[in-house]
Structure 1
Amino acid sequence: MPEHADHDPVEDLARFGADLARAGGDMPLSAADVRRRGDHLRRRRTALVAGGAVLAAVAVTAPILALTGDDPERTDRDLVTRDPRGALGPQDLLGDDDTVHSESSDWFTTDTSEGDGQAAFHLCARESLGSLGATAVFQRRFELRNTAEPSVEVSGDHLAESIAQFPDAATAAAAYDTIAGWVRDCTEQVAQTESPEYRAFEPRTVDVEVGGDSAAQIIDAQYGPAPRELDPYGDAAYLAETGIVRVGDRLAVLDSAIVGQDYTFTDGTPVERMLPVAADLLRPGGGEPFDPTAVPGSRIADDFPLAAGWPEAGGETEDPLTGPLRGLDPIPVVACGETAQDPRRSDRLSAEWVDVEDVRYRQLTTYPSADAAADAVTRVADLYRACPREQDTGDGTTRRWEVREVTAGAEGYAVLGWAESEGGATPFGETLLVVRVGSAVLVESRGGHAGNPQGREEETIAELVEQAGEVVEAMCPFSGSGC
């Protein structure tokens, strides 16, 4: 083992996060991600670049006061009385189903609170949101869990969201600018921690697609070195991603920070993917349809047969099935650098089946109406139709997409995706099946060599439709009148 006694960790900080200022750039590899690297098939299109020792990440902000007390039966709905005019409330915070991370891990809520609490909402905050003029504040904290191996404890990774209502858009805009300034210049606050060196990168704007009077940005930062008890070699720093979004007179701040080194998110960084959802939730009254109880008949039964038609066992994997359950990452729908933004949904259930060279994902999503579900399907089909060929990645490889209609449900499409290298076929590909029945939409992704449709397009589509037959039939109650 090399000797690190004379190693100066501060000098090495400049090499961390060199590409953080661009979307999809290098991002930190936390302790949890290092432990899960071997399970790389668990998240499609997520490429990791390993580095460093196994590190324990720590939360960098103090706990906030939860209002739920010691009663485990109370829910977020107990925190506020819903206002038919759309008053700000916990329903406007990100939920477990809205958060994303990487690999085989997901964020799960640990506590939700009303008000500023007794601690700063962000490490760099110099005042409370109330001091900036907010008339209502709600906060939520999350913990990371290993969904592939639930028995493996994950600790330290930090995600929190704070949302605030202001008396007018001008006050909210001023708070937006003030908070961004704090995050860009956080030297004084970080100097009070064990990791005194701070460096923020140029903010990057994000199109959150809510229109109107809105703005959003992400500020990537690093500070360190990490404490010696976390990294005895001094090779790591804290790497943070802060998302700030304003929609009219409302504001949301997403605070993510971990200890680690670099990996690459090919579908966008976690905060970049969550920020549009956070923006959508800020729209007055916008959070209501996310509650399946608010739209009768839109909740998916816990025993819904989402994994029906899949093999009962894996070829080389002992336990290939995860789910069905809520809270897994949604299937990324990305082509030519664009993402199909999902309309406001009511409920979602997911399942994963991962074996060597055979990776399958399914998600069933319900919407407040059949029209909203049809809109969701159209957005997916249109995204891939507009991207028959992606740009060369620089190594001679391009990705191709083709959309075909299929006979399934009220409407259905198959999306055929494959990679070409210097114009020739490769063994890599992916096939998506999208089926709508009433207000419900099924999306299935088949990846690995088994999902490559080249030369067997009709066979691949027929196989997916047949295997999903029982699932589609079980969606009939969402059509209103039945199938």
Structure 2
Amino acid sequence: MPDPADQNFLAELEGFTMPTATPLPPGDVRRRGDRIRRRHRALVAAGALAVVAVIATPFAVLAGHGHGSVEPAPMPPATQPAGGWTTTIPAGFDLGAGMGDAQSPVTTSRDAVVDEFVCGVAWYFEPRPVDQLSASMQNAGSEGGHDRHLVVFDDAGQAEAAMKQFRDAPGYCRGTYSDEGWKYEMFPADSGRSGADEASAWVQGLHDDTGLTGEGIVTVAQRVGNAVLVDTAISMGVGDEGVRQEGVDNLVGRSAPIVGEMCTFSVGGCAPASPDASEAVDRPSGLAGAIPDDFPLEKGLPTGAGAMDGPAHEIDLAPYNLENNLRACGVAPSGLPEPDDAFHAGHRTPAEGHLRTLMTFGSVAEAQAYAEGVLAVFADCPEDTSGQVSKRYRVIPGDLGDYAASAVMHVEVDGQPGIGYEVVQVVRVGQAVLQTLVVNDGELLDAAGAEQLSTMLLEKSQTVTDAMA
């Protein structure tokens, strides 16, 4: 069971006037209509599972008033980077990082994002970006997937104007609105712990004759300098505000590495790098290669009654059911880099198990790919429902080491908190990754306690991550 000092952590724990849209060419209308119909089919196909929609992202400025597009409001002069704004997406920018696997590959494109309708009005990128890149992952065996769009403008002022249009989108329809026979409701959402200069999010909830069906489209936009990143997903249970927020938090957490890579478009630029960035990525950093037998991996684990395993390179992992506990919605991580070495330590009681696995990799890039990849299955599965019982997963960014994030699962029975929870947490320091698994079969955890639990486990890992450096 948890340390006595930790057992009480849970307890501590109208509007706008509708503008008149400029008539669109028939070809554009057909193209947009096809896109919308694909989106609707994906919503229906989602059923009781949460998937990610492969749809064009609704974003940017509203169609105009007969003389062309509505011009964005004048923006104050932006502070220029020393060498001017970066207006080209660098070659090798990994927009699809963490999105796919061997069964669900990622495709990228520089084609213009297809226009779409929001609140019954056509939206599109305006002023047109000077560069753009899209990444799309199609889930194997379904219409679901994951879309990301990165668009770059001439300067930060234009990007800020585009973000304002995104934030204002829910105001262009009051309550519900109809689109090609489908009815939606707009919900602004909290963009959460984004690391971008600014971020905004909203959810479109699908209605039928009885009200919200539960399916909805979650969209998050994040700006760094003169670039904007947009992620889109389908989520179930959007009639509940907490579930809507979980969907947004999942997207923000999954996009964190991309937002970090967008520093090239920021005013301050990226942190100083070596003359050859590729060599810097592959240079050993911190703990690497063979892990010493006396590494203090057990520091911070529970010390009460129960069985202690390790620390050692070989322990019996069967009691921790690691293979099944790294799965979500029946999917296990795949295509992960193989570690150079692995070291284990665990503590278990009949009701709870803590397992730490420390791994070293041949490069920082491989370590980061593992850290992101092992959490991707949880980000793709916000909810896994069987009968009256639902497992709700939330990926929460952390503040430790070079990269940290936690996937927290809590149980609901008929919509109420149920017994049991699970945490899979990764912390990368250089080319080493600390993976922590916690499985509890005897306590309640609600959505409000997930972030506190994640933070507590990071704090208990501090001694280990210090040694990894």
Fold-level similarity (TM above 0.5)? no
Per the normalisation by structure 2, the TM-score is: 0.44
